[in-house]
Amino acid sequence: MSRAFSVLLLVLVPAGFGLGLVLAPRLASQPPDPAPVCRPSVPEQVDPGDAALVLYLGNSLVFDHDWVLPGTLAVNCARQGLRAEKLRVPDLPDVTPALIVLGFGTVELLQGKSDATAFAETMAGHVAALRQRFADAQILLLGVPLTDDMVGSQVAALNAALADLAWTAGAHFAAAGTLPSYDGVHLTRAGYMGWRARIATLVENR
């Protein structure tokens, strides 16, 4: 086990998240909205003393991707099917991220919860809570991608809400646009390239 991976596990286990990696298959014993099972990803040749820790929050578009980037330690606390309203900031691990990435909106649209005003209010609450808990972290809001199964006007409304929130809250916004998908919703690896580049730039210029 690499030194960097050991450091991350030492951080996550006391908060109960490392234990979740072992107990995750026991779905029947979990409460309706369990705390996120956070997955650390550490490049082989990264010195944790020099690397930037990036905390990823969101739905399956965030959960499914391998966010290992040069010079970063990734802690992925996203969950499949997670809507923004279900995120609980107090349940997040006690880490010190340089950057927090939030990717929400797709599940809301698929479940018919496309009210942009309510979505913006929920996301604004999360940004405020994250700033209070992780005061030194930058925040990046990922745009909702337009894929085959999405309605363009609804996607545009949520993205406008996210862009406005980023502007007013001093966060960053990464537009998505039309991205390649393998099933009408979830992105191919090529669909992540723009987001990865934006994250790398923010980490490099921190």
pLDDT digits (tens, 9 = 90+) for 130-173: 999 999 999 999 999 998 888 899 999 999 999 999 999 999 99
Buried b (16+ CB within 10 A) or exposed e, 108-133: bbeeeebebeebbebbbebbeebbee
Question: What single-letter amino acid sits at 37?
Answer: V
Residue 202 makes CB contacts below 8 A (sequence gap 6+) with 99, 138, 140, 172
Parallel, antiparallel or unpaired: strands 72-76 and 99-103: unpaired
* Residue-wise pLDDT tens digits, 44-85: 556 666 789 999 999 999 999 999 898 899 999 999 999 999
Span 189-199, pLDDT tens digits:
999 999 999 99
Give me the mean pLDDT over the 20-31 stretch: 34
Confidence check: pLDDT of 129 > 90: yes
What's the confidence (pLDDT) of residue 41? 72
pLDDT for residue 50: 76
CA separation for the pair 170, 117 (Å, rounded): 19
Residue type, 174: A
Burial class of 200 by CB neighbour count within 10 A (0 to 12, 13 to 18, 19+): middle
Residue 5: the pLDDT is 40
Query: What is the DSSP pairing of strand 172-174 with strand 99-103?
Result: unpaired
